[in-house]
Structure formats: C-alpha cells, structure tokens
Amino acid sequence: MVPTATRTWVGLYARQHSLSRLLATVMVGVLGGVQTSECRAETTAFIGAKIIDGTGKAPIERGIMIVRDGRISAVGAVGDLAAPAGVKRVDVSDKIIIPGLINGHGHIGGTVGLQGGQYSRENVLRDLQLNARYGVTTVVSLGGDQAASVAVRDAENTPSLDRARLRVAGPVVVGKDPEEAMIRVDSSVQLGADFIKIKVDGAAGSRQRMSKEVFKAVIGYANARGVPVAAHLYYLDDARELVAAGVDYIAHSIRDRVVDDAFIAQARKAGVYYCPTLMRDVSTYIYESEPDFFADPLFLAEMGPGILDELRDPDRQSRIRTNLQAQENKDALRVALINLKKLADAGVPIVMGTDGGPPGRFQGYFEHLEMEMMVERAGLSPMQVIVAATGGAASSLKLTEVGTLESGKWADFLVLAKDPLADIAYTRSFESVWIAGNEVPRN
Ligand SMILES: [Zn+2]
C-alpha cells in the first residue's frame, strides 16, 4: 500500500510539473510493487450525489459511485452500497452527477479562431481538451478527419485519459458515380473511419447533389463492410430515400417540411437515429446582432482574442441580416423544432449534436445551448435530452464503453451544482468534469 502522504505528494508533484508526470507514474509503479490485490490506491468513491445515470431510469437520490482504474466498478444508493475500506472518498453531497456529454455531430481539429482549413494533430488535441473542459467527453467528428485523428482516437483507451474521446468519419465521401464513391468508401475504411459521412442535398445550389444511385451504392457498400453511414440532408423526400436505402444516421434535421406519419413509421421500422443539430442552423443567423450568450462567463472563459470583435463587426452583422439563406434558416429551424418533437415522441432515437467546430459554432459550449433548445423550444423533457446526450447517444452510435454510469463503463462524468432535471440549463452548472476517473484540468 502506498502511504497516503506519498500518494498526495506524487499527486501534487504531477499536477505542478507536467513533465514530471511520467516520473510520478514510475514512482507509483515502484511503490506499488508492495501493493496487494486488496490495495485500493487507484479506487475512489464519490459519495452523496444525486446520480442521473444516462439510461433514463429514475435517478438515485443519494448515491455512491465507485471508480477503479478509470472505470466505474459499482453504483448504488448510500445505504445499499458502501465505499470499501481504505479507498479515497470524495464528498459530493448535494451535487448532481450525470454522464459526460456526447456530441453526436461535431468536427474536430479544423478551426482556429474564426478560420477554417486549419486541420492539424495539435488542433485535434486542443479541441478535445476544450470539449472536455465544457463537459463534452466524447465527440463524433463527421467529416474532415485525417490520419492524425485516427491515431488520437486509438490512443484513448487508457485510465490516464483526461481529454475528450473521439470517433471519426474521415473525409466526406463524394462521387459522381457509384464506382468513384465506393473507392472513397474503401479509403475511409482503410483510414479507420467509424462512420461514412455523405451529403445528399445541393446546399441551395452551392454543391452537386448526390444522386440516389450513388448514395444507394455507398450505403450498401459501407454497410456490407460493417461501417454505418451518416447523412447530411435537408429535405423530407431525401430522408425517405435515404432510410429506404438503409442509412443508419440522419445527422441533421429535416427542415423543408413537417414529417408525416408515413415517414415516422418508416424511420421507426428502420431503426434510424436522428441528430437535430439545431445550433448549426442558429449559427447561420445569430451573429446578425449580438447574441445573449456573449454575456455568459462560461462562454467567455474560452474565447480567444479578437473573436468577439470580429463577430461584432457592424458590416459583418449587416451582411448576415441581408443574406437570404441565413434569414430562411429561421423558418427552417422552426420546422426542425417541430420535427424533433414529433420524432422523439414517436420513439425515434434522438442523438444530441451541434455540428460544432466550424467557425462560429463554438464546440463544447454550444452543446449546452443545444440541450436547452431541445427542451425550451422543441418541448422535449430534460430527461429525454439528457438521455439523448448520454446513454441514448451511446447506444445509437455503438459507443459501448461510455454514455451511462454503470459498472464497467469508463468513468466519464460531470459533477453539477444544480439539477438539470429541474432546468436543463443547469448542465452548465458543472463544477468538475471527469474522464476515466481523472479530473479534467482547467485553463
Ligand atoms: Zn457537420
């Protein structure tokens, strides 16, 4: 057993001297040579919080969660479950614990400030640290991902992790005919993509529509190779065709029309999952004037120099006010909100996602606004939205080791001061974020 004083010293030393972290690990290893199997030096009990576990079950009002070597080893009510003797105890009485948030549609590593096209390994890691500081502990990056992202993903299976986890789609698959598109699917699969991403609509004339022939070929080919397909879309008619072709994941809202019963039935039967990305649409017009969130300290905490000045520029604002597409997105968003409620009520699995990461879509922070919109404007319950951002997202996206606070999962969670079941905006009341049982460092 490592004496408490030594453990504390090693911990302080590691925190204060990042380069010394390896040394600290070695020291624990050396001292750990005398540990027995009963030793609980790596075990921590979080005691007294209300625990919302991400499955949708009623919360445990006063719970205990035991974390060992980065994973949850037990969760229960105080009284039913006790902290084993000798473990580290963290008093979280009067707090609320929820699973780490999953952004089911982001883009990682490509933006610096308000500038896109900046992809690098360094920016991938910086973005994952940023997400983690906001409580987003897993990001599914749907497009723009290169080999560095795959390597970063593959390095995350460790109890020392303290940045967000990553899943990737690789480059968006395009092709003028099935053969060309299938070659691109092959190269994404070889890269190590978790998803294949396609865009089917023509983005109001700004890109080539993907023909039905091509997307059917892509979906069939990717599914045969065991890789799910996520689709960017806009129109209900495209959604019908995509679901009929076997698409796994609708990665944006249907925004041209309110969904009808035939589509709802089709979506349910197919088991397709749906990500509304409401904040993506908001981001297209919100900078026509100064958004309320410019006054939120949680937002401002991560703002780089000059970004707000650029967004406040009167010429920039006026260009957005007179941009037809941006203004039409306000109507599209109204349709999206109706469709989210209809699909969620019908039992179509909903995945929280923002399409965050590109310029002006502030990853980490926007996920909290997305959840608030899902409740306050679409009319979902706070519990529905928490599940869509945690356990429900994980089960749709096949993230088997995260998303819920259950035995065996990685200990990715938030400690909140206030209860998000009372007001979903309280997801922003997090006091600490934990990934694999490690507290995420602050700036
Ligand atoms: Zn996207």
Q: Is the domain of 34 the same as that of 108?
A: no
> Ligand 1 centroid to 412 CA: how many Å?
24
**What distance in angstroms lies between residue 234's CA and the mean position of ligand 1's atoms?**
12
Domain membership flag for residue 224: yes
Asked if 150 and 287 sit in the same domain, the reply is: yes
Give the whole-angstrom CA distance, residue 202 versus residue 276.
19
pTM of the model as a whole: 0.90
Asked whether residue 272 is domain-assigned, the answer is yes
Residue 300 lies in a domain: yes
In terms of domains, do 116 and 24 share one?
no
Write out pLDDT tens, residues 337-368. 999 999 999 999 999 999 999 999 999 999 99
Whether residue 104 is found in the same domain as residue 173: yes
Residue 68 inside a domain? The answer is no
Q: What is the mean pLDDT of residues 120-141?
A: 98
Residues 164 and 293 in one domain: yes
- The DSSP secondary structure of 277-303, one letter per residue, reads -HHHHHHHHGGGS--GGGG-HHHHTTP
261 with 356, same domain: the answer is yes
How many structural domains does the chain have? 2
State whether 255 and 381 are in the same domain.
Answer: yes
User: pLDDT for 261-285, tens place per residue?
Assistant: 999 999 999 999 999 999 999 999 9
Reading the block at residue 14, the tokens are: 């590691």
| Ligand 1 center to 320 CA (angstroms) | 21
Q: Are residues 31 and 140 in the same domain?
A: no
Residues 198 and 270 in one domain: yes
Q: Looking at the structure, do residues 133 and 34 belong to the same domain, yes or no?
A: no
Tell me which residue range forms the domain holding 8. Answer: 1-39
Cβ pair 200, 214 in contact under 8 A: no
Same structural domain for residues 9 and 152?
Answer: no
Same domain, 230 and 361: yes
Q: How far is the CA of 313 from the centre of ligand 1 (A)?
A: 26
CA distance 195 to 113: 27
Higher pLDDT pick, 301 / 208? 301
Q: For residue range 138-182, what is the model confidence (pLDDT) as tens digits?
A: 999 999 999 999 999 999 999 999 999 999 999 999 999 999 999
84 part of a folded domain: no
- 339: domain CATH number is 3.20.20.140
CA of 277 to the centre of ligand 1 (A): 9
Residue 305 lies in a domain: yes
In a domain, 434, yes or no: no
Give the pLDDT score at 358.
Answer: 97
CB 288 within 8 Å of CB 362: no
In a domain, residue 333? The reply is yes
Query: What is the per-residue DSSP string for 113-136?
Result: TTB-----HHHHHHHHHHHHHTTE
Contact predicate 43/7, CB 8 Å: no
